[in-house]
């Protein structure tokens, strides 16, 4: 039986355990377990049920053992910025608060009234989002912080519970907006500002670090395979970029899921004036790279639409209905804060259009097209911004994640941005997780070889620009953004 690798890949709405093996020089994937994830109101805040997530991981490992795999390696990736406070007894103090909780609504404004944004950006190179860990800790309960021995990012906490060993992996840690680009450590001035100390974070480690074996006590409670845990690129976007089959130079990535992360991979960070004003981020990647990217609202808007329609339509249904509607009937800044966690996404979109004097989308197809077409417009605009900041022309866009299956949006993006789009694989995050494990175990030599393995294993779909299809619509959208709607850092 081929050597087995397990990717624990957990997003904001679901998690899964993916089994990866190499057979006949191709990477094969098998979903072994899937479960729902989400936050709920608890003790006055939106919190993640972290114990439930752990229980689902054990369930998935039991299924893998039952399938005949007695020995595996395992890597964990999740969303970024959220953390668990662990007390002196080694146990969590409370369930972790979600980044979508309203507690940080004014935190960024308050904190940056003392520390200018330009000062923070020069130190960290991280974009300003009101839910970054820096602002979450600024609003954290002082009582809970006083009881805190360790602050652990979500995937690091899961690894700690599994193995008993605590680390802070750099790709997720960088999203805190507290790592100093020059020093490679947490910045003391920023930590002091939020009343935490360096020793409250476990030691920083790079992607590919062996964490340890699952503790014996879990084997007494569950029928588990012998499992060695490897700390992979624990931020799901970092794993997704590693799982992107980019080739050559001047290619961009779009990790298209709940969030859309659009950018390129650099060997040195770019935290100059243009990057600062455009609110681009330099998240740390695996193997000495940086993910220079923009955080964009993404398919969260479609997920909310689907839920508000009582799941009457599948995502494929909504895309099909959208395809029957003329695009660009309204311009929407998808990165407006109002779309982060509204009571009703439908009401918020309609109110936005009504207030800006535009046609109000009413039907499921019109609402879906409003989202897809404006995401494509935003992507195209940001590709032009990337070209300006980097001083080069990006020649290809690799779209990975669930959004790579939305042909309508892929084609709109290719045409608007005048760039060749390569879509797939949809499982890039799990694949990137697996590739790091394989490199650590010497089954793959490096990332270039890993990306070739991906290209050889998964069929990619290509979308070429359709010349002059939509005239000056992108130019008009850019004017719309520039007239008070564009996101800039001040």
Q: Just list the catalytic residues.
A: 236
From the list 379, 377, 382, the residue with the least C-alpha distance to 331 is 377
Cα 188 from Cα 232, distance rounded (Å): 26
> Taking a C-beta distance cutoff of 8 angstroms, is the pair 114, 94 a contact?
no
> Please, which residues bridge with residue 421 across strands?
397, 463
* 210 sits in which H/E element: strand 209-213
Cα 169 from Cα 255, distance rounded (Å): 20
Cα 83 from Cα 152, distance rounded (Å): 5
Residue 96 DSSP code: P
Backbone angles phi, psi at 267, to 5 degrees: -95, -20
Q: Which spans in 178-215 are helix H?
A: 188-193
Cα 75 from Cα 57, distance rounded (Å): 11
**Distance between alpha carbon 411 and the CA centroid of its chain, in Å?**
23
Beta strands in 222-361 (DSSP E): 226-231, 251-256, 260-266, 281-284, 290-296
- Under 8 Å CB-to-CB from 441, ≥6 apart: which residues? 3, 5, 73, 230
Residue 21 DSSP code: E
């Amino acid at each position: 039986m081929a050597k087995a690798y397990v990717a624990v890949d957990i997003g904001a709405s679901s998690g899964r355990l993916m089994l990866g093996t190499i057979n006949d020089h191709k990477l094969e994937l098998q979903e072994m377990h899937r479960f729902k994830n989400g936050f709920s109101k608890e003790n006055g805040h939106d919190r993640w049920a972290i114990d439930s997530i752990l229980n689902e991981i054990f369930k998935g490992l039991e299924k893998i053992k039952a399938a005949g795999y007695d020995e595996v390696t395992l890597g964990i990736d999740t969303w970024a910025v959220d953390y668990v406070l662990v007390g002196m007894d080694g146990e969590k103090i409370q369930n972790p608060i979600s980044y979508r909780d309203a507690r940080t609504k004014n935190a960024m404004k308050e904190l940056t009234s003392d520390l200018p944004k330009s000062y923070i950006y020069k130190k960290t190179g991280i974009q300003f989002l009101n839910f970054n860990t820096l602002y979450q800790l600024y609003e954290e309960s002082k009582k809970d912080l006083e009881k805190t021995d360790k602050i652990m990012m979500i995937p690091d906490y899961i690894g700690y519970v599994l193995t008993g060993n605590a680390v802070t992996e750099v790709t997720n840690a960088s999203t805190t907006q507290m790592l100093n680009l020059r020093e490679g450590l947490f910045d003391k001035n920023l930590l002091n500002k939020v009343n935490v100390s360096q020793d409250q974070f476990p030691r920083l480690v790079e992607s590919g670090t062996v964490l340890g074996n699952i503790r014996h006590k879990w084997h007494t409670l569950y029928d588990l395979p012998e499992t060695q845990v490897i700390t992979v690129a624990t931020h799901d976007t970092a794993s997704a970029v590693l799982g992107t089959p980019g080739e050559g130079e001047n290619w961009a990535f779009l990790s298209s899921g709940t969030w859309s992360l659009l950018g390129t991979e650099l060997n040195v960070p770019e935290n100059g004036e243009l990057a600062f004003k455009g609110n681009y981020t330099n998240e740390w990647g695996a193997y000495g790279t940086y993910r220079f990217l923009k955080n964009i609202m993404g398919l969260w808007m479609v997920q909310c639409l689907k839920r508000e329609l009582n799941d009457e339509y599948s995502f494929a249904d909504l895309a099909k209905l959208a395809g029957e509607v003329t695009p660009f009937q309204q311009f929407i800044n998808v990165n407006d804060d109002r779309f982060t966690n509204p009571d009703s996404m439908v009401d918020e979109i309609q109110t936005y259009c009504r207030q800006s004097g535009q046609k109000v989308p009413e039907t499921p197809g019109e609402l879906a097209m409003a989202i897809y077409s404006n995401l494509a417009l935003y992507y195209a605009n940001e590709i032009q911004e990337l070209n300006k900041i980097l001083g080069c022309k990006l020649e290809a866009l690799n779209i990975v994640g669930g959004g790579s299956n939305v042909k309508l949006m892929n084609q709109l993006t290719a045409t608007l941005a005048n760039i060749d789009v390569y879509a797939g694989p949809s499982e890039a995050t799990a694949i990137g997780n697996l590739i790091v494990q394989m490199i650590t175990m010497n089954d793959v030599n490096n990332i270039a070889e890993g990306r070739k393995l991906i290209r050889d294993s998964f069929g990619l779909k290509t979308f070429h620009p359709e010349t002059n299809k939509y005239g000056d619509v992108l130019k008009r959208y850019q004017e719309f953004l520039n007239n008070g709607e564009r996101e800039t850092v001040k």
